[in-house]
Amino acid sequence: MKSTIGSVKSLMPTDFPSLGVPWLMSTMGSLYSRAKVADRLPPFANVTISNVPGPAFPLYMAGGKMLTNYPTSIVVHGVGLNITLQSYNQSLEFGLMACARAMPEVAELAQYVTDSLEELKTLPATAEAAPEATPAKKASRRAKKPATRNAAAKSVADATRSPRASAPSRARASR
């Protein structure tokens, strides 16, 4: 058994995600289309949104500085819009790819995104940042009794609760 698997492993490409997945996805897309699955089942999604962190510093090629980045992706079968965000050198770039039949107004969407980002820039910055959580105490070296279920749940709730001591109290509006 091991010798059979070993001989097959040598035939497999070392970078299957880069080589095999696109082939597999295109084959599955073709089968999806030919079998007319879209006519029988509702689409599982109509938009794909992904974000890709990029370098926070400028990149250079042959002495020239890269000024911007235009993220691109593909619209997969059955999904009409792909929105890809990628950061580069302290900026955020948007890439909008759409099926022309499903969304002919993609330029309109791009303008809405631009307008919304400009509106976001006009908002005032928050005056006070939230206080940082205190670091957890180090576990002691001596053995402890196992915690009960309720005690463990309470300690998890206490650890995940955000600190509210410095938050201003708000009066509840009367009805």
- How many domains are there within the chain? 2
Asked if residue 63 belongs to a domain, the reply is yes
Residue 21: partners with Cβ closer than 8 Å, 6 or more residues away: none
Is residue 51 located within the same domain as residue 109?
A: yes
Q: What is the predicted pLDDT for the residue at 2? A: 57
Give me the count of residues in the chain: 175
Scanning the chain, the segments in alpha helix (DSSP H) are 2-9, 16-34, 37-40, 106-122, 149-160
Q: Which residues contact 87 (CB under 8 A, 6 or more apart)?
A: 51, 52, 53, 54, 56, 93
The answer to whether position 174 is within a domain reads: no
Whether pLDDT at 163 is above 60: no
The answer to whether position 72 is within a domain reads: yes
Q: Are residues 54 and 98 in the same domain?
A: yes
Both 13 and 65 in one domain: the answer is no
pLDDT tier for residue 25 given thresholds of 50, 70 and 90: confident
Q: Are residues 94 and 60 in the same domain?
A: yes
What pLDDT was estimated at residue 26? 76
pLDDT single digits (tens) 29-56: 778 778 877 778 777 788 999 998 999 9
Full domain range(s) for residue 29: 7-41
What is the model's pTM?
0.52
